[in-house]
Chains A and B, each alone.
Chain A
Amino acid sequence: MGNIKQKDLILYSGLIILGLAAPYLFSAFKVQLTYLCVLIVLAMTWNLQGGEMGYNTFGNILFYGLGMYLTASVQVGMFFPLAEWTESGGEKTFVHTTAQYFQGIGVGLLVSAIIPAIVAGAIGYAILGLRGHYFAICTLGLGIAAGEIAGGIEIIGAGQGFTTPPFPAEIVDTEARGKFFYFLSFALLIGTFVFVKYIYGSRFKLILNAIRDNEDKAEAMGIQTMKYKITGWMCSAFFCGLAGGIMGGLIGYIDSTDVAFDGREMGVFMVLMAILGGKGTLWGPVIGATLFHFFKEGLWTLILGWQYVALGVLIVVIVIYFPEGLMGWLREKYPERFGEVIDEKDRKAQVELK
C-alpha cells in the first residue's frame, strides 16, 4: 500500500475523518448512517461477483441472513438457553450484563463471518458450475429457500421471529447504542473497502475479469476457474455475514423472510446499488449505494404509497440511460480523467472498420 498517491491520501483521510465525525455531526441520523455503511458493504461485495466475475448472484442475501441469525443465536446461546429465549410463551426474562452483551456480539460476529464463508464454499462447489442466467435463477432460489427453512426452525423463533438481546441497560447514555453500531459498521466498511481495493490491485481480480470475459478461454489458459470462483464467493460471504450480524443487532428483531432473508428488498437493493453506481468499478458501488440511500430516505416519505412505483421507474431509468452505471457513464464521457489514453489513430481506424 506504499504507493498510494498523495491525492488519494487526502481523499481517503478526508473520508475517514468525515466518517468518524459523522455520528457527532448528524447525531440524529446515526441509524441511517449505519444503514448506509452496511448498504455500501453489500453493494461492494455483490460487485465482486456481479461486476468482476460476471456471475449475477441473488444469493448473497443468504449469507447476510445467516450472519444475522448466527450473531444473535451465539449472543444469546453463550449465556442462556436459546430455546427458552425464543419461545414466545416463556415467562422468564433474561437480561445480558454489559460484559456478556459485548462478549456475545464479538464472538457472534466472528462466527457470522466464518460460517457463511464456509457455506458459500460448499454451495459454490455445487452450483458455480452453472453459468449465466442459470446461475442467477439458482441463487434466487437459495434466498427464498433459506427464508422458508428459517421460518420453520423453532429454536431460532420460527415464524415468531427472534428478538435480539437489548442493549445493556447499565449503559445509561441513550446515544451509546447508536454510536456502537455505527462505528461497528464503519469499521466493517473500511475493512471491506481495504480488502476490495487490495483485490483490485491483485492478479486475483484479473482472473475474475478473465472469467467474466470468457470463461472457456480462461480455462484453456490453465486457470482453475472453479477454485477462483469459489474463493471469490467466500470472500463476499465473509463480509455479507458480518453486515448481517451488525444489522440484526441494530434492528433488534429478526424475522425470517422480512428481515433476514429479505431477498425482495435487500437482495434486490444490493444489485441495484451496484448497477446504479457502475458495476465492475471500485467506487461505483460506493457511490451507487450512497445515492440510492439518499434517494430512498429523502424521497420515500414524500411519495407515500408510491415509493415502489418510483423505485420501479428508477430501475427502468438506470437500465435504459445508465446501463454501465454512473461510473461507466462518467468514464465514457471523460475517459482521460480515468487515466485512459485514447489513441486517436486507433479510434479512427476502428470507426473506419465499422
Chain B
Amino acid sequence: MNKLVKLFITSISAITLALVSFSSSFAKVEGDYIVLGSAISLTGKYSSNGVHTQNGYNMAVDRINKMGGVEVQGKKYKFEIIYYDDESNPKRAAQLAERLIKQDGVHYMLGPYSSGLTKAIAPVTEKYKIPMVEANGASRSLFTKGYKYLFAVLSPANQYLEVAIDLAVEKNGGKGVKIAQAFEQDAFSQDVRLGILDAAKRTGSEIIIDDKLPKELNDMAATLAKVKATKPDVLVVSGHTKGALTAIRQISEMKVDVPMLAMTHCDAAKLSKQHGKKSEYALCASQWHKNLSYKDKFFGSGKKYAKDFQKEFGYDPPYQSAESSAALLVFKDAFERANSFDRDAVRDALVDTEMQTFYGNIKFGPGGQNVAKPMILFQVRCKGDDCENRVVAPTKWASDKFYHPIPKWSERS
C-alpha cells in the first residue's frame, strides 16, 4: 500500500506540474493573427451541417486574408480559427466554449451549428463578455434572453415558414387552409412550429395534424399515413437535414398526395441532387439563395460566391455556408470600425453594424438578431432529370412562378 500511495502522489504531482505549465493562456491576438474560436459539429447528428458551417468560415477566412486581412490601427492582421468538435451535443459545446475562452485565450467567438448548441454556448460567452457572431442559431428564444454579446446574421426561426402559409392562403382565395405539420423535437424546429401557429391564427387556418418527431429522425410514416387519410392543404415538415431527406423519401414511397409541401433544410440536404425528381415541387425556406442580388467586395455576388465555393469544396453552397461566411465579414467590419481589440469596443461596433454582404443586408436588432434581411422561399423544379432550386417568394426576389398545386403521384412521370 505504501508504494501504491507514493506512486499515486507522484503521478498527481506530475500531472499538476504539467497542467500548471500548460495553463498559461495565449493571447487573443498572436503576432499578425486575430484568433477566433468555434465549436463545430464535426460528428453526431449535425455533422453534415457542421461541415457546411466550417467550410463557410474557412472560405471567408481565406478570402479575407488573401485580400489584405483586417486593418486595425494601421496594421494588417489575418484571421485564424481554432475549432473543436462539439459532437452535436450541447453539454460538450458549453464545455468547449469554456475551454476556448479560458485555456486557448480566445476573445472572439464564432457560433456553432444549430440553435440548441448556440443556446448552450451563449451563457458562457455572455459570462465572460466575449462577443460572438453566430450564423446558425435561429431560435427566437436566443434573442429574448437579453444577451448583450450575441449577434446573429440570420433571421429568427419563427419566420422560416410563415411565408409558406401566407402563400397557401393566397392560393386558396384568401380563405384559411388545413395544415398538417410535423416537427423534430429540437429548439430550432419547435420555433418554426411556433411561427406556423402564429400564421395559422392570423389567417384563420386550421391545424389538423400536429406531430412531434424524434431527433435524428429516420421515419415519419405514421404522420404520412394520417396525412393520406385527412387530406390537408399544406404539409409542413422541419427536422434539419435528416428530416428533409426522410420526408421526401417516404412521401414518394408512400405516394402521399398533398397540394403543398413546405420544408426547411432542402439545400443543406442537397435534396434536388439526392432525390432528383422525387423532390420536385417541394417548397423550402432559406436564409439565402445564390440568385439574390446582394453584393460585397470580397465575394462579389451570390452567384460568384457559389462558383468559388463549388470550386473549393466541390458542391453548391447551402445557405448554412453562406451565412457562416457572412459572419466573418461582420467581424472584419466591426474590428476595423472599432479600430481596437478591446472586447467592449468590438462589441459596440457590432451593435452599430449596418452593411451589405453577398448574403444580404445585416443590421442587428436589440436582441441581436438580424432585422435587415427577409427569408426567402424556393421551390425544387426539374427539367428532365436535372433539378434545381428556384426562388418563388417574396416577389421582389422571385425568379420563377410558384407552381401550385403539386400534381398527384399518379400523374407524375
Hey, which bits of chain A sit against chain B, CB under 8 A? 7, 11, 14, 18, 25-32, 35, 88-93, 95, 148, 151-152, 158-161, 163, 166-167, 174, 177, 247, 250-253, 255-259, 262, 265, 294, 300-301, 304-305, 307-308, 330, 334, 337-339
Asked if A257 contacts B20 (CB within 8 A), the reply is: no
Q: How far apart sit A154 and B12, CA to CA, in the bound complex (Å)? A: 46
Q: Is the interface of B mostly helix, strand, loop or mixed?
A: helix
For A258, what are the chain B residues with a Cβ–Cβ distance below 8 Å? Answer: 88-91, 116, 215
Q: How far apart sit A30 and B127, CA to CA, in the bound complex (Å)? A: 14
Using a Cβ cutoff of 8 Å, how many contacts connect chains A and B? 153
Q: How far apart sit A228 and B79, CA to CA, in the bound complex (Å)? A: 61
Nearest 6 interchain pairs by C-beta: A159-B185, A88-B141, A252-B123, A253-B120, A28-B102, A31-B98
Q: Which of B1, B25, B85, B186 contacts A159, CB < 8 Å?
A: B186
Question: Does B43 reach chain A (CB closer than 8 Å)?
Answer: yes
Asked if B185 contacts A35 (CB within 8 A), the reply is: no
User: Chain B, 180-214, contact with A by CB distance < 8 Å: what is the 0/1 string?
Assistant: 00011111011100100000000000000000101
Q: Which of A18, A89, A161, A307 contacts B85, CB < 8 Å?
A: A307
Asked, given contacts A93-B144, A163-B141, A265-B89, whether A31 binds B95 with beta carbons under 8 Å apart, the answer is yes
Min Cβ gap A136→B in Å is 23
Q: Which of B25, B123, B144 contacts A28, CB < 8 Å?
A: B25
Asked if A89 contacts B158 (CB within 8 A), the reply is: yes
Min Cβ gap B95→A in Å is 6
Min Cβ gap B112→A in Å is 12
For A158, what are the chain B residues with a Cβ–Cβ distance below 8 Å? Answer: 185, 190
For A32, what are the chain B residues with a Cβ–Cβ distance below 8 Å? Answer: 95, 99
Asked if A307 contacts B1 (CB within 8 A), the reply is: no
Asked, given contacts A31-B95, A252-B123, whether A161 binds B90 with beta carbons under 8 Å apart, the answer is yes
**Which of B3-11, B297-305, B307-315, B371-379 touches A?**
B3-11
For A256, what are the chain B residues with a Cβ–Cβ distance below 8 Å? Answer: 185
Residue of B nearest to A330 (CB): B4
For A92, what are the chain B residues with a Cβ–Cβ distance below 8 Å? Answer: 144
For B83, what are the chain A residues with a Cβ–Cβ distance below 8 Å? Answer: 304
Question: Does B2 reach chain A (CB closer than 8 Å)?
Answer: yes
Q: How far apart sit A339 and B2, CA to CA, in the bound complex (Å)? A: 11
Q: How far apart sit A32 and B92, CA to CA, in the bound complex (Å)? A: 11
Query: How many chain B residues have a CB neighbour from A under 8 Å?
Result: 58
Q: How far apart sit A339 and B8, CA to CA, in the bound complex (Å)? A: 18
Q: Which of B16, B25, B95, B190 contacts A160, CB < 8 Å?
A: B190
Residue of A nearest to B191 (CB): A88
For A88, what are the chain B residues with a Cβ–Cβ distance below 8 Å? Answer: 139-141, 144, 187, 190-191, 194
Q: How far apart sit A11 and B1, CA to CA, in the bound complex (Å)? A: 11
Question: Does B405 reach chain A (CB closer than 8 Å)?
Answer: no
Asked if A29 contacts B103 (CB within 8 A), the reply is: yes
Asked if A174 contacts B43 (CB within 8 A), the reply is: no
Asked if A161 contacts B43 (CB within 8 A), the reply is: no
Q: How far apart sit A43 and B268, CA to CA, in the bound complex (Å)? A: 40
Min Cβ gap A174→B in Å is 6
Q: How far apart sit A319 and B146, CA to CA, in the bound complex (Å)? A: 49
For A301, what are the chain B residues with a Cβ–Cβ distance below 8 Å? Answer: 84-85
Q: How far apart sit A303 and B216, CA to CA, in the bound complex (Å)? A: 24
For A152, what are the chain B residues with a Cβ–Cβ distance below 8 Å? Answer: 185, 212
Asked if B191 contacts A160 (CB within 8 A), the reply is: yes
For A308, what are the chain B residues with a Cβ–Cβ distance below 8 Å? Answer: 43, 87
Min Cβ gap A257→B in Å is 6
Asked if A151 contacts B185 (CB within 8 A), the reply is: yes
Q: Which of A91, A250, A300, A338 contacts B144, CB < 8 Å?
A: A91
Q: Which of B19, B25, B120 contacts A252, CB < 8 Å?
A: B120
Q: How far apart sit A11 and B158, CA to CA, in the bound complex (Å)? A: 57
Question: Does B126 reach chain A (CB closer than 8 Å)?
Answer: yes
Min Cβ gap B255→A in Å is 30
Interface residues of B in 140-194 (CB under 8 A from A): 140-141, 144-146, 158, 183-187, 189-191, 194
